Amino acid sequence: MTAAALSLIAARNWAQNNEMNVQFHGFNDVRGVTVLSPTVDLTQDYTERTNLRVNYGLDTISAASDSCVRCHNDGVNSHRQVFGLSATRKYNDLKLTIGGAYSKENFYRATTGLASVSRDLAHGNTTVAGGFSFSLNQPMLHPLPEYENQYQSGGFISVTQTLTKSTIAQAGYEVSHIAGYQNNPYLRADVNGQMVLGNVPDARTRQTLSARLRQALPGATYAEADYRRYVDDWQVKSNTISLGLSHYFRPEFLAALTYRRYDQTGAFFWASDYTGTPQYYTADFRLEPFASNTYTGRVEIAPKGSWWLLPDGAALTLQYERYSADNGFEASIVSTGLRVPLKVIRR
134: closest CA among 108, 152, 116? 152
Do residues 246 and 9 make contact, with C-beta atoms less than 8 angstroms apart? yes
What is the sign of the dihedral through the CA atoms of 199, 201, 204 and 210?
Answer: negative
Q: How many CA atoms lie within 13 A of 181 on its CB side?
A: 15
> Strand pairing partners for 85?
54, 100
320: closest CA among 257, 261, 263? 257
| Residue ranges of E strands in the chain | 19-29, 34-45, 50-62, 78-91, 94-105, 108-121, 126-139, 150-164, 167-180, 188-191, 194-197, 203-217, 221-232, 237-250, 253-264, 290-301, 315-325, 330-341
- Model pLDDT for residues 132-152, shown as the tens digit of each residue: 999 999 988 877 788 999 999
Instruction: Specify the pLDDT at position 72.
Output: 56
> What residues of the chain score a pLDDT lower than 70?
1-17, 62-77, 344-347
Amino acid at 312: D
d(CA 224, CA 81): 32
Instruction: Specify the pLDDT at position 76.
Output: 60
Helix (H, G, I), strand (E, B) or coil at 270: coil
d(CA 212, CA 242): 9
235: closest CA among 183, 280, 185, 179? 280
* Burial letters 3-37, b for 16+ CB under 10 A, else e: beebebbbeeeeeebbbbbebebebbeeeebebeb
Helix (H, G, I), strand (E, B) or coil at 48: coil
Q: What is the CA radius of gyration of the chain?
A: 22
Q: pTM to 2 decimals? A: 0.87
d(CA 332, CA 37): 14
Do residues 244 and 224 make contact, with C-beta atoms less than 8 angstroms apart? yes
Instruction: Specify the pLDDT at position 21.
Output: 93
